[in-house]
Structure 1
Amino acid sequence: MTDARPVPGIVLVDKPAGITSHDVVARARRALGTRKIGHAGTLDPMATGLLVLGVEGATRLLTFIVGLDKTYQATIRLGVATDTDDADGEVTATRDAATLDRAAIDAAIAPLTGTIAQVPSAYSAIKVDGRRAYDRARAGEQVELAAREVTVSRFDVVAELRDGAVVDLHAVIDCSSGTYIRALARDLGAALGVGGHLTALRRTRIGPFAVTDAADLDDLASGRSLTPAQAATAVLPRLDVSAAEARDLRHGKRLAGAASRLDRVPAAAVDPEGALVGIVERRGRDVKSAMNMPEEASR
């Protein structure tokens, strides 16, 4: 654990395969010397790529990041189905996919794009009567999850590899938060009548944040982090306020007549020194703080 006081901010981490997102948080706590670290969405142990961590007071900003759209690079194997819909599960069925042509694959992908009703994997972290679905499934219980609406704005196959009876599709997928890429692999294989599962997954983007800007897990302490103001203004409109206005917002006062300065809400209020005052919203013609940042966590 470091002796220096942890600096509040948003840290981008490139998660390696084989560990959980909670393992990454535990490593970050040790590297950065604080237990106050949260994340904006997990990745399965098999998956790699971008995790967004909030440190100290900046954890309050994660609520504005967790729901952002995401981009994934995925490998989908057609011809083999598993119970978990990914490569960590047990094979449940095999079918010869060698005769599938690209036209048939593209035709099956089309209904899986746009706004769709998706049934998550039975081995997901969704809670059913207070217990995780994967815990129930591993205990041998029958798990039936309700379909939920998600949006897949891009499902592009960028390469395919044929090896005997299986076809591996390398795809780039843009989707809304809450989309299960494993479920897309499963549903694509089912639509083609050969079964399918996910063999590799890498998250490359969450909203405006890219994995190319992320630190390796072994380099967290020296990796670059975003200040609360940088992170907030990356995902929300910016409202520049004077020192007097910043003081009023921090004291719970409204900025009279300032609503006309906001195109969209909520917005990030930033003082003349570049510190994040808080997240503000309209109250009639006025602006009021909906979430103040502690001053020590604002820069």
Structure 2
Amino acid sequence: MNSGILLVDKPQGMTSHDVVARVRRLAGTRKVGHAGTLDPMATGLLLIGVNHATRLLHHLVGLDKEYLATIRLGWGTSTDDAEGEAFAAASADAVDAITDAAIADGMARLTGGIDQVPSAVSAIKVDGKRAYQRVREGEQVELAARHVTITAFDLLDRRRDTSAGAAIDLDVRVACSSGTYVRALARDLGDGLGIGGHLTALRRTRIGAFEVTDAPSLDDLDVAAALTSAADAARRAMPAIELAEQDAIDLGHGKRIPAPEGTAREQPIAAIAPDGRLVAIVERRAGQLKVVTGFPQEDAS
């Protein structure tokens, strides 16, 4: 099995690790990983690395993301989503008093650069252990706020739901920096309106330039046919330079080479050999290109 990146549309009810395990069986290799976890309740785009292309995943994790989500206003939960224990619900009068203008204002306050406290059941490590593991063991976990950027928080639809008490359901689109928790946006929007809120549906539609519309479902996945070469994936994720043959050889041996005029500074760059393979991810250092991540010769496309 060749190396490459897979776009997979994760189904609901599976963990990201479940998807990796399935791809390992389909690809016949243990060397499989993913760039960015999705909760079991979520669906949508996962980027999966196979064989040597797993080395590229580190450079894909930090790409910006886009989601479609449904937020239920009226009460919060212990996990900030529908799988947690429900907190006390707001009164019907309090929910009925929430206006469209108040919702729009609340969403606007959560747009742009914000300091966000991640959900306690996140995968963030606290003293070497995942936060959600500590919560499951009965510990109280308080995570520090982190700065994230919400470039879009758009309301697509609003409807009242009285089937499980007074509630307002909001269908939204969120475009954000890596590290953003949409569950926390739902929580903070509800808290800001004084009636609580949690996430009831989440679908990741984009990671950087990779779109879920290009991703097969797991049941329809043909690994060999769906593989995107590491070079093509890297070109979509970062600036790229085309190498001369000798420069490709030198970088392949870990040597530094002169940086071409105009090479971007302080960001990863994909260095592509004349035969189209990804030689390395490099960074410009004092007029030279230094290997950050090297890729074996077998990655030829």
| TM-score normalised per structure 2 | 0.93
Alpha-carbon offset, residue 159 of structure 1: 0.4
Partner of 1:253: 255
1:50 is the counterpart of 2:45? yes
Partner of 1:81: 76
Q: Is the 8 A contact 2:264 2:284 kept in 1?
A: no
Matches within 5 A, 1:115-194: 115-164=113-162, 165-194=166-195
Change (3 A) 1:219 1:103: same
Of 128-137 and 41-50, deviating more is 128-137
Q: 1:251 and 1:133 mapped to 2: Cα distance?
A: 40
Q: 2:85 and 2:101 mapped to 1: Cα distance?
A: 29
Matches within 5 A, 1:90-105: 90-95=85-90, 96=92, 97-105=95-103
Q: Is the 8 A contact 1:98 1:162 kept in 2?
A: no
Match of 1:11 among 1, 6, 18: 6
Q: 1:133 and 1:288 mapped to 2: Cα distance?
A: 36
Unaligned runs of 5+ in 2: none
Partner of 1:65: 60
Partner of 2:202: 201
Partner of 1:3: none
Amino acid at match of 1:172: R
Amino acid at match of 2:201: A
Q: Is the 8 A contact 1:150 1:178 kept in 2?
A: yes
Q: 1:238 and 1:295 mapped to 2: Cα distance?
A: 18
Alpha-carbon offset, residue 261 of structure 1: 5.0
1:84-132 per-position Cα deviation (integer Å, ceiling 9, x unaligned): 1101111111113223111011111121111111111111111222222
Q: Is the 8 A contact 1:259 1:283 kept in 2?
A: no
Alpha-carbon offset, residue 80 of structure 1: 2.0
Amino acid at match of 1:187: D
Q: Is the 8 A contact 1:189 1:195 kept in 2?
A: yes
Amino acid at match of 1:109: M
Change (3 A) 1:261 1:243: farther
| TM-score normalised per structure 1 | 0.94
Change (3 A) 1:81 1:228: same
Unaligned runs of 5+ in 1: 1-5
How well do the aligned residues superpose, as a CA RMSD in angstroms? 1.4
Alpha-carbon offset, residue 278 of structure 1: 1.1
Partner of 2:28: 33
Q: Is the 8 A contact 1:239 1:261 kept in 2?
A: no
Local SS of the residue matching 1:14? strand
Local SS of the residue matching 1:155? strand
Of 123-132 and 74-83, deviating more is 123-132
Alpha-carbon offset, residue 49 of structure 1: 0.3
Q: 1:150 and 1:13 mapped to 2: Cα distance?
A: 26
Q: 1:61 and 1:113 mapped to 2: Cα distance?
A: 30
Runs (4+) of structure 1 exceeding 3 A deviation are none
Amino acid at match of 1:62: L
Give aligned-pair identity as a percent. 59
